Chains A and B, each alone.
Chain A
Amino acid sequence: MIRLFQVQKAYPGCEAALSDVSLEAGEGEFVILWGPSGAGKSTLLHLLLGAERPTQGQVWVGDRNLARISRAEMARHRRRIGVVFQDFRLLFGRSVLDNVSLALVIRGTSRRAAREEAVRWLEELGLGERLDERVERLSGGERQRVAIARALAGSPPILLADEPTSQLDAHWARKAMELFSDQTGRGAVVVLATHDPRFLQDLRHRLVRIDGGRVAEEVAG
């Protein structure tokens, strides 16, 4: 489902963020990209989302090379992805419920169904009492849970999560990981970037250690 071939990503005047990275992940697979800050994990997720283009190499999602798709196709590609950004990227000035239901409306869900599903995910993540709160009034951990709910809503076939538990306490971090794992059961591919060593304890998931922009080690789950 996801394939990267000898991908390199360099920014002008900087060392390459990624060098010669090749990676594949199929349906139902849970891949943890693990490595220190600045290793290139976020860049790799951005390439999969189509938010950035590789300097060299190819990024394929399904049967599409992301470098060769139109704007409209790119929008369609992103609608198949649930993503948790490192900085959450929530829409300020809007409610918790709007932030999640909006993602569903963008994916073509009707208004009513979108609200119902958004409420279900937000309740699952302990935010049922804060549906109408504006996101800027939430704590960091709560914002992160909204971002996770937004990514999971609509059960997209691909989930990308960048440090999705960085601001969560142990209880909610465990809960979030369970919810991501559940998605693989229905065939979704999950790619999660983290530098948290706690994730290394879960041997069910495939581990890809990234260091200095390269794949340093791979451990099958």
Chain B
Amino acid sequence: MSALGIAIAATWASIRRAPLSHLIASLTVGATLVVAAGSGSLALGVRSLLDAWGSRVELTLYLSDELDEEEGRRLAQQAADTVGGSARWVSPVEAMERLRRALGDEEGILLDLPFDPLPASIELRPAGAAGVDELPHLAEVLLRLPGVEEVDWGRDWAQRLSALAAFAERAWGALLAILLCGAALLVGAVVRFAVHARREEIEILRLLGASDGFIRLPFLLEGLFAGALGGFWAALALQLLARWERRLDVALALPEELSLAGLAEPQAFAALVLVGALLGAMATLFALARELR
């Protein structure tokens, strides 16, 4: 029997000796990876949704009353050149006309106004995918242009969403760390249990001159197996979730960015099994370092 053959036989014997604890360990790894991958995908989705919204956003620059039409149009061109993108000058008359249309049947309330209340403005659409985080900077630059009195870009809710996304990313990071530690501890406990069950055998192997590597290999394989099996469970669960989500999508019309479909791809399946195996192996090595000194 070769060293690897002996290790595989010992691993198999250990799994057969305590199948339930191996199953629980693999399910814990699987649940951890489902939550980690699902919440990670969601956090990334929220971020890309915000970035997509940022690229579609339109900034409105309200201009000073002192600017005439020609100066307004020139300023629109200057604003477009400054940040890149396209800009259009909107006259007070056009703005009033839009307001009237927006008010519909209640446009009568505007008839008694003694003057035209709306200033001229510039509607600016930045070129490329300006993320939501870049908008405050753009607004600041535009506000410095002579004749621009105010820049409106939906500051409040964009900032709130950005903060929410940052919080979601931080919360995901913390959750991931906690879950990974928990799963690693459980895999480590299963390995420690296996070490205790084979304590006498390990002692004999040592007396016969077995190297540390020879003794550790079966346990490492055991951890790898539990982790990879956990990754397999996670990949399977995410496949089912993605299928369920596709059905829900018809009813809820969820944005594409929040979809779990990417996690059901074959590459994601393989990655989850690999990450699970690595998690199992690392937890095992950590447990063995403490247990087999």
- Residues of chain A touching chain B, judged by Cβ–Cβ distance below 8 Å, are 49, 51, 71-72, 75-81, 83, 85, 89-91, 93, 98, 101-103, 105-107, 110-111, 114-115, 150
| A contact residues around B2 at 8 Å (CB) | 105, 110-111
A34 CB, nearest partner CB in chain B, Å: 24
Report how far A79 CA is from B205 CA in the complex, Å: 10
Contact of A111 with B5 in the complex, beta carbons under 8 Å: yes
| Pairs A-B, 7 closest by C-beta atoms | A79-B209, A78-B209, A111-B2, A89-B204, A106-B210, A75-B211, A75-B209
Residue in A closest to B3 when the chains form the complex, CB atoms = A105
Residues on B with C-beta less than 8 A from A78 are: 206-209
Chain B residues within an 8 Å CB radius of A114: 1
Does B174 belong to the interface (CB within 8 Å)?
no
Tell me the nearest residue of chain A to B13, going by C-beta. Answer: A93
CA distance A93 to B197 in the complex (A): 13
Complexed CA–CA distance, A114 and B2 (Å): 9
Q: A76-B209, A102-B6 are known; give 16 further A-B pairs, CB within 8 A.
A: A72-B212, A75-B210, A75-B211, A75-B212, A78-B208, A83-B208, A90-B204, A93-B13, A98-B1, A102-B208, A105-B1, A105-B2, A105-B3, A111-B1, A111-B5, A115-B1
Query: Across the interface, which residues of B come within 8 angstroms of A49, CB to CB?
Result: 207
Task: Pick the contact of A72: B3, B206, B211 (CB < 8 A).
Answer: B211
Q: Are the CB atoms of A105 and B6 closer together than 8 Å?
A: yes
Name the residue among B2, B204, B208, B212 with the largest chain A CB count within 10 angstroms. B208
Query: Which residues of A have CB within 8 Å of B201?
Result: 91
A216 to B5 CA separation, bound complex (whole angstroms): 48
Report whether B207 and A51 are in contact in the complex, using a CB–CB cutoff of 8 Å.
yes
How far, in angstroms, from A98 to B5 measured CA to CA in the complex? 11
B53 at interface, CB cutoff 8 A: no
**Number of residue pairs A-B, CB distance < 8 angstroms:** 53
Question: In the complex, what residues of B have CB within 8 A of residue A93's CB?
Answer: 13
State the CA gap A9–B217 with chains docked (Å): 34
* Main SS at interface, chain B: helix
A111 — nearest CB in chain B belongs to which residue? B2
* B204 near A91: Cβ-Cβ < 8 Å: yes
Chain A nearest CB, measured from B3 CB (Å): 6
18 contacts between A and B (CB under 8 A): A49-B207, A51-B207, A71-B212, A75-B209, A76-B209, A80-B209, A81-B209, A85-B207, A91-B204, A93-B13, A103-B208, A105-B6, A106-B208, A106-B210, A110-B2, A114-B1, A115-B1, A150-B208
Residues of chain B with a CB closer than 8 A to A115's CB: 1
Q: How far is the CB of A67 from chain B (nearest CB, A)?
A: 17
Which A residues lie within 8 Å of B13 (CB)? 93
- Taking CB atoms, residues of chain A closer than 8 Å to B207 are 49, 51, 78, 83, 85, 89
Q: Mark B3-34, 1 if CB is under 8 A from A, else 0.
A: 10110000001000000000000000000000
What is the minimal beta-carbon distance from A180 to any residue of chain B, in angstroms?
18
Q: Which residue of B lies closest to A90 (CB)?
A: B204
Q: Which of B1, B6, B204 counts the most A-chain CB atoms under 10 A from its CB? A: B1
State the CA gap A71–B210 with chains docked (Å): 11
Contact across chains for A102 and B1 when beta carbons are under 8 A apart? yes
Are B1 and A77 in contact, with the CB atoms below 8 A? no
Give the complex CA separation of A114 and B6 in angstroms.
13
Q: Do residues A107 and B1 form an inter-chain contact, with CB atoms below 8 A?
A: no
- On chain A, the residues within 8 Å of B3 by CB distance are 105
Name the CB-closest residue of B to A101. Answer: B1
What's the nearest-Cβ distance from chain A to residue B51, in Å? 54
Give every chain B residue within 8 A of A77 (Cβ-Cβ). 209
Which residue of chain B has its CB nearest to the CB of A83?
B207
Q: Give complex CA distance A83, B209 in Å.
A: 11
Instruction: Write out the residue numbers on chain A whose beta carbons fall within 8 Å of the beta carbon of B214.
Output: 106
Q: Least Cβ distance of A81 to chain B in Å?
A: 7
